[in-house]
Structures are given as C-alpha cells and as structure tokens.
C-alpha cells in the first residue's frame, strides 16, 4: 500500500531538481544580460518526463536515470542584439516567476504526500 501511495515521489524529487537547476540557469542568463556574445541557456526536463509517462509504465517502473534535467542552448534562439547576446530580460523574468510557481506546486505536493503518510502511520 505504501509503495502505491508514493510511487510518484521519486518523479516529484526529479521535478524539484529540475526546478532548482532551471532557477540557476535563469539566474545565470539574467546575470549575463549585458555580456556581449552570451547565448541564453535553458533546462530540458518536462519533455523527457512526458516521454517516460507516455510509455504506459507505472510511475514506480520509470527509469529515473533518463529523467535528469539537462542544460541546453536552444538553437531556435535566433533573435540577436547587435552585441550578439540573445537574452531578453522580460522573457527571463517571466520564466523565473513560472519556475517559482512550479517549484511551489511541487513542494506543496511533497508536503501533501508526507501528511498522507503520517495519516496512514497514525491509523495503525
């Protein structure tokens, strides 16, 4: 029963890791907003998670080694300023807020899972 109850906890852990990595990458992009030639970076994670979930396996059977967040430099970022920097501070700020909200939702889910676990323990 407990295994079923927390079968997604490892996925939540990986998603939290991705959110932390994304925060660092976005902050790094913002710091380099005025660095000539700097190319922004992004974190790829949700695509890998979706592919794993589409495999129709139970969450406890998903190979978590393929669910690590990866820092990438997107090739489609072709908007360049004269100094060849492609960081847009407005876009990065919005991404930072979205990531913060994602992190909060994930950590709330982890807290909820812990409360459920405590409820099960107290019921025994």
Looking at residue 113, its pLDDT comes to: 85
DSSP per position, the chain: -HHHHTTTHHHHHHHHHHHHHHHHHHHHHHHTTTSTT----EEE-HHHHHHHHTTT--GGGS-GGGG--EEE--TT-----TTS----HHHHHHHHHHHHHHHHHHHHHHHHHHHHHHHHHHH-
**122 or 2: which carries more pLDDT confidence?**
122
**For the chain, what is the domain count?**
1
Write out pLDDT tens, residues 89-108: 999 999 999 999 999 999 99
Check pLDDT > 90 for residue 62.
no
pTM: 0.81
Give the range of the structural domain holding residue 119, as residue numbers without chain letter.
Answer: 2-123
Give 14 or 22, the one with higher predicted confidence.
Answer: 22
Q: What is the pLDDT at residue 18?
A: 96
């Amino acid at each position: 029963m407990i295994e079923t109850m927390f079968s997604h906890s490892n996925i939540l852990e990986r998603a939290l890791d991705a959110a932390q990595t994304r925060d660092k990458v976005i902050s790094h992009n913002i710091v380099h907003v005025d660095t000539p030639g700097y190319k922004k970076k992004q974190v790829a994670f949700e695509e890998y998670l979706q592919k794993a979930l589409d495999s129709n396996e139970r969450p406890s059977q998903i190979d978590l080694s393929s669910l690590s967040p990866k820092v990438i430099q997107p090739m489609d970022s072709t908007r360049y300023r004269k100094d060849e920097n492609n960081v847009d501070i407005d876009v990065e700020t919005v991404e930072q807020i979205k990531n913060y909200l994602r992190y909060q939702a994930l950590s709330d889910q982890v807290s909820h899972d812990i409360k459920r676990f405590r409820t099960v323990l107290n019921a025994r």
